[in-house]
Amino acid sequence: MEIDNTFGLIDIAISGMRAQEKNIKLISSNVTNAQSTDNGNGQPYRRLEAVFKTDGDGVGGVSLDEIAVDMSDFLKILKPGHPDADERGYVTMPNVKLPVEMMNLNVAALMYQANIAILKRYQVMVETTLELLK
């Protein structure tokens, strides 16, 4: 016997909210580490990006598939005297670009809100149906 399939839509909206929350966490990590020249292994911080996948086949929620590491080139800035500077005075900086992160943050926050909008609207829909029982 299949129990409780009526509220599958709520689970989908919630999975979207959770996925975007993790996405925002990664963006926050990128922004915070935009100046971290050492990630513990002598390399600058590499920006992270969330990759999402659909749960199940067809209709389903979303989940974080993997946390991809951005392998694009590091930036070099002239900063003689910095402990991580090379012999010519250049410091390798993380490949984080703040405008890109801010744009991604906007998208992620909007996605989060969109999922909440669906959740709210569905709630109203069910309540309207329940009005029939009055």
Residues that bind another protein (CB under 8 A): 1, 3-4, 7, 10-11, 13-14, 17-18, 21, 119, 123, 126-127, 130, 133-134
Q: Which runs of consecutive H residues, i.e. helices, occur in the chain?
A: 8-32, 98-131
What minimum distance in Å lies between the beta carbon of 41 and another protein? Answer: 21
φ, ψ dihedrals at 54, nearest 5°: -80, 140
The type of residue at 77 is I
Task: Select 72 or 129, whichever has its Cβ closest to another protein.
Answer: 129
Give which of 68, 64, 71 is closest to 48, Cα–Cα. 68
What minimum distance in Å lies between the beta carbon of 33 and another protein? Answer: 18
- 3-state secondary structure at position 121: helix
Task: Select 68 or 125, whichever has its Cβ closest to another protein.
Answer: 125
Task: Select 68 or 126, whichever has its Cβ closest to another protein.
Answer: 126
Give which of 72, 76, 74, 94 is closest to 85, Cα–Cα. 76
Query: DSSP for 34-58?
Result: TT----SSSS----EEEEEEESSSS
Task: Select 66 or 86, whichever has its Cβ closest to another protein.
Answer: 66
What minimum distance in Å lies between the beta carbon of 126 and another protein? Answer: 5
What minimum distance in Å lies between the beta carbon of 13 and another protein? Answer: 7
